[in-house]
Amino acid sequence: MIRINSLLKNMTETEINKLIKMEGIDANKISDGYHTFGELYDHRIALFIVLSNLIYANLGSQIGDPTNMPWKSKVHYDGSAWDGWFVAGIGTENGKQITYHIPIGKWDDLRVVAYDNAPEWDGHTSQDVINRLKSL
């Protein structure tokens, strides 16, 4: 264990991530000592679904622009798709959104409007999503 710790201690995050990929390590099983990445993703997905369903059920009729309410789509704006996943989002204001890719098995859990194609992605970053979530 000491040898591994010494090796990782001298590696950059980029090098560690490359090593994980090269060795075929399942990143979902990596833990911070409390939760695995897989568990944290499950939490994020569950929280996003609950938030979206609550907004849609309670505010859906009060939101004028349909892209400002929670939505889901199996196809991105440009017609592309990820096998086994769908995209879901919440519009926070015109042209601004919070989006996540969700496993297709959760499709029926998300009880919001479904689009043939998702609204156009606005280029948001992870930090933008955090800021937009705080502004809801």
Span 64-91, average pLDDT: 89
Give bridge partners of residue 96 from the DSSP assignment: 93
Instruction: Write b or e for each residue in 105-125: b if 16 or more Cβ atoms lie within 10 A of its Cβ, otherwise e.
Output: ebeeebebeebeebbeeeebe
Q: Is the pLDDT of residue 2 over 50?
A: no
Span 113-122, average pLDDT: 92
Domain count, the chain: 1
Q: Which domain holds residue 51?
A: 36-135
pLDDT on residue 105: 98
113 part of a folded domain? yes
Portion of the chain with pLDDT greater than 90, in percent: 52
pLDDT on residue 1: 41
Beta strand 71-73 with 85-93: parallel, antiparallel or unpaired?
Answer: antiparallel
How many residues can be counted in the chain? 136
16 part of a folded domain? no
Q: Kindly provide the residue ranges of all beta strands, DSSP E only, lying in the chain, ordered along the sequence.
A: 71-73, 85-93, 96-103, 113-115
91 part of a folded domain? yes
pLDDT in tens, 44-64: 999 999 999 999 988 765 655
pLDDT on residue 64: 55
24 part of a folded domain? no
124 part of a folded domain? yes
